[in-house]
Chain A
Amino acid sequence: MFRFLIGRLALLVPTFLGVTIVAFGFIRLLPGDPVLLLAGERGITEERYNQLMEQFGFSRPIWEQYFDYLVGLLQGDLGISIVTKKPVVTEFFTLFPATAELALCAIILAVAIGIPAGILAAVKRGSFFDQTIMGTALIGYSMPIFWWGLLLIILFSGILQWTPVSGRISLMFYFPQPTGFMLIDSLLSGQKGAFTSAVRHLILPAIVLATIPLAVIARQTRSAMLEVLGEDYVRTARAKGLTPFRVVGMHALRNALIPVITTIGLQVGVLLAGAILTETIFSWPGIGKWMVDSIARRDYPVVQGGLLMIAAIVMVVNLTVDLLYGLVNPRIRHN
């Protein structure tokens, strides 16, 4: 297991280096540059343009810029945003808790509903229940997030007025946010009603963000369960007279969970991508919206730094998933 861990960690180094090249190159491949966008319709003289490009360090050879970027990276410095003039790392960690909280709630929701729904659909294969769940999952998977979010807002916030339209908490609450996780900070604040308000604000965005992963997890669980339920050892367990609950819960599910865990791990990337739209619809101040704005403004340091941080998170999650395999199924324990 230790060797496996070291091997995977060693693999992360070239992967990470690759990501730095992609992150650095990607934004520079796009036409336009931050100085031109800064000037807008007003325009800028050639002299002033060159002066600013030099000031930002963009007039130097590309390899030199990349080398400086790498050196900064090794020192934990991701650069300074061209627009806000703040360090990228500070901005990232200010916004990341909002995205993490939303993504975490969404994945919990997706797993809590998706896995039981998938199991039930597999156990009752071909039934009306199965078809309904799988049909709903297909619709959920194909749903355009933006449209779905607006639809929920109009129905639940506009017409029924059950949930707030957007934001993380009611504007009447104002307290320090030491963790950045609104659910925790609202509890710590001790202000009456703050936690409830934070939960109410989280419901719709979490549902919207969870929709696609939920559909994927439900479908994956169903197909994995179907495969396992046809295995000899399940038939043996049934022949032994075990209760259906024990057969499905103890014998089948544990084996079926392996591909499901992989799927859940892969959903982290999907969640971060989905967060871009969800955060925009629900005015959720997270990294998704931050990245989109920065790409539009060609804020090179933010885009390359943000991409790198997101890639690092996805890599760490995938590594964790790999390690979890061993815990779930002893046959894959890496010795």
Chain B
Amino acid sequence: MIIRRTMKIALMGVSLAMFAASAASAKTLVYCSEGSPEGFDSALYTSGTTFDAASKPVYNRLVEFKRGTTEVVPGLAESWEVSEDGLEYTFNLRKGVKFHSVDGFAPTRDFNADDVIYSFGRQLDENHAWNSYTPGASWEYFNGMSMPDLIKEIVKVDDHTVKFVLTRPEAPMLANLAMDFASVMSAEYADQLEADGKMEMMNQVPVGTGPFQFVGYQKDAVIRYQAFADYWDGKQPIDNLIFAITTDASVRLQKLKAGECHVAPYPAPADVSDIKADANLNLMEQEGLNVGYMAYNTQVAPFDNVKVRKALNMAINKQAILDAVFQGAGQAAKNPIPPTMWSYNKAVEDDAFDPEAAKKMLEEAGVTDLKMKIWAMPVQRPYNPNARRMAEVIQADFAKVGVEVEIVSYEWGEYLKRSKEKDREGAVLLGWTGDNGDPDNFLAVLLGCDGVGGSNRAQWCHQPFEDLIQKAKTISDKDERTKLYEEAQVVFKEQAPWATIAHSVVFMPMSTKVSGYVMDPLGGHRFDGVDIAE
């Protein structure tokens, strides 16, 4: 016991010394992250902050999103074949891929099919030894993406080939496998932890094949990584990556200005002009892969009438919302998917802002003296930075067409729960940020019939729309899918289950010394390929 402890301290000392020595002479990039990771096993969590700290630097997936896009490219799988019926995905695994070494673990073999089987098996099989390795392991993303229903089995064909057998064709399957929950872990590391009775370490000291290897985490303060010298895609330009956890946006900016960090996400909207004016800082911006919307309850009168919904949409002054709520960092939304997503239908025309016409249309629908509720979220989200303010602007707009609005709000958990109820009163402000860049991830989740009583807050089940998105889900040809989704957006606009409000613009301030950083449309923060001038 004492020998083991001494060895552990010695090993830690060596790694600290290595890090310190390399830190002194090496290129170190400091990222002022906005929060602490919940853990380092990405499959257990759903937050972007955790993915930034765990899956993005440390792990790889079978397939990856190409930097700066939602295009799926080879990752740990060099290539793949999809069977004609769309039910079998066979992945040919990359050879010679090394796992990281950490204190107490040195891999004895390269990555192979066992690691894939382990990484998915523990999420899929409730009887797997690792299914409940930590209290409350719920594999929320895996379940949320309906993987248990979708994956029939995962077969190891040989050491370098695995086959996913599905229960139904699922076009977004590849994009799903590029998501953070699908990170590939080391089965050998798992075996060692299990034998040592230290399974919880899987969530504390990660071992992956990714561009950076984990060095240490001081809770709520600093996470340290080193570039992985044996990374299969080549060593990174920087030597060390440090996450300095800084929760306050104003403090992050001060640290960036003082040179204490090189990249600092999520600036306060009020600071954007200040950052633009600073010659030492570079401000990148990109339209976020998100949509902020107001969902009517289409099953409750008078919102079951398309005319009423259309009229109310015409009464909303989106420009006023962009000015007041997004402070210019947003663009008006006309479709339920963002313009950066493939299959976005540019030809769709938005409802014109016309209070007079709206008033007339309401009269035609026989609706007078309408009183309704608008639900304002109690939290800030990229797709809605200030829901209360947004509700107030809409309240004022609706008053002009004779509709009296009462704004209501609940604690966030309650809000999410109550807003799902089928007989819910009024219209709900909410939004969505894409998970995998596939239109199905917006259209089916938020507007599909399966989502009624759940994530479909409009409680809208419209068969022509449903047929289109279900058909698109089973086809692997992207052009064909694009046509179906474009058509679905036309149907959506005609039926108006939501008032589409805005897509936000995401800003990313960084030092001018930083080069090679590419903004991720999915909202993540990746540092592979990033360099810093000394």
Contact = CB atoms under 8 A, between A and B. Distances in A.
B222 A290 contact: no
Contact of A31 (B203, B204, B411, B431): B411
Contacts of A37: 412-413
B310 to A, nearest CB: 26
A37 B415 CA distance: 10
Contacts of A174: 16, 19-20, 23, 216, 224
A293 B44 contact: no
Nearest to B247: A280
Nearest to A191: B20
A165 B255 contact: yes
Interface string B7-19: 0010011001001
A167 interface: yes
B103 to A, nearest CB: 12
B258 A161 contact: yes
A4 interface: no
A36 B138 CA distance: 13
Given A167-B221, A283-B247, A289-B247, A36 B255 contact: no
B136 A280 contact: no
Interface in B1-54: 9, 12-13, 16, 19-20, 23-24, 28, 30, 35-36, 38-39, 44, 46
Contact of B412 (A32, A91, A161, A293): A32
Interface stretch (A16-24, A61-69, A151-159, A310-318): A151-159
Interface in A116-174: 150, 153-154, 157-158, 161, 164-168, 171-174
Q: Would you call the interface of chain B mostly helix, strand, loop, or mixed?
A: mixed
A285 B138 contact: no
B219 A42 contact: no
A85 B39 contact: yes
B197 interface: no
Contacts of A91: 219
Contact of A42 (B137, B258, B414, B455): B455
Contact of B413 (A56, A165, A166, A298): A298
A235 to B, nearest CB: 54
B258 A157 contact: yes
Give the most central of B38, B134, B200, B445: most A CB within 10 Å. Answer: B38
B411 A42 contact: no
Interface centre among A31, A39, A43, A175 (most CB of B within 10 A): A43
Classify the interface of chain A: helix, strand, loop or mixed. loop
Given A43-B455, A174-B216, A283 B140 contact: no
B448 to A, nearest CB: 12
Interface residues of A, number: 56
Interface string A37-65: 11111111100100010011000000000
A33 interface: yes
A87 to B, nearest CB: 9
Contacts of A282: 251
Nearest to A168: B221
B134 A285 contact: no
Contacts of A196: none
B36 A293 contact: yes
Interface stretch (A76-84, A253-261, A262-270, A323-331): A76-84
Contacts of A177: 218
A165 B251 contact: yes
Contacts of A298: 413
B246 interface: yes
A289 to B, nearest CB: 6
B277 to A, nearest CB: 15
Interface in B503-532: none
B480 to A, nearest CB: 28
A55 B138 contact: yes
B44 A85 contact: yes
A30 interface: yes
Interface residues of B, number: 62
Nearest to A34: B413
Contacts of A161: 258
B356 interface: no
A161 B257 CA distance: 10
B76 interface: no
Contact of A280 (B9, B224, B248): B248
Nearest to B133: A85
B430 A283 contact: no
A150 B250 contact: yes
B306 interface: no
Interface in A177-194: 177, 191
Contacts of B224: 174
B136 A55 contact: yes
Contact of A43 (B220, B258, B454): B454
B417 interface: yes
Contacts of B23: 172, 174
A150 B432 CA distance: 33
Nearest to B50: A83
A161 B258 CA distance: 8
A165 B250 CA distance: 11
B251 A283 contact: yes
Contact of A158 (B24, B35, B258, B455): B258
A33 B219 CA distance: 24
B138 A52 contact: yes
Interface string B63-91: 00000000000000000000000000000
Contacts of A158: 254, 257-258
Contact of B254 (A45, A165, A280): A165
Interface in B354-390: none
B242 interface: yes
Interface of A: 30-33, 36-45, 48, 52, 55-56, 80, 82-86, 91, 94-95, 150, 153-154, 157-158, 161, 164-168, 171-177, 191, 280-283, 285-286, 289-290, 293, 298
18 contacts: A31-B410, A41-B416, A42-B144, A44-B144, A52-B136, A83-B39, A153-B251, A154-B254, A165-B251, A165-B260, A166-B246, A167-B221, A171-B260, A172-B23, A174-B19, A174-B224, A176-B12, A283-B247
Given A43-B455, A82-B136, A85-B136, 13 more contacts: A38-B46, A52-B136, A55-B136, A55-B138, A80-B136, A95-B219, A165-B254, A166-B251, A174-B16, A174-B19, A283-B244, A285-B218, A289-B247
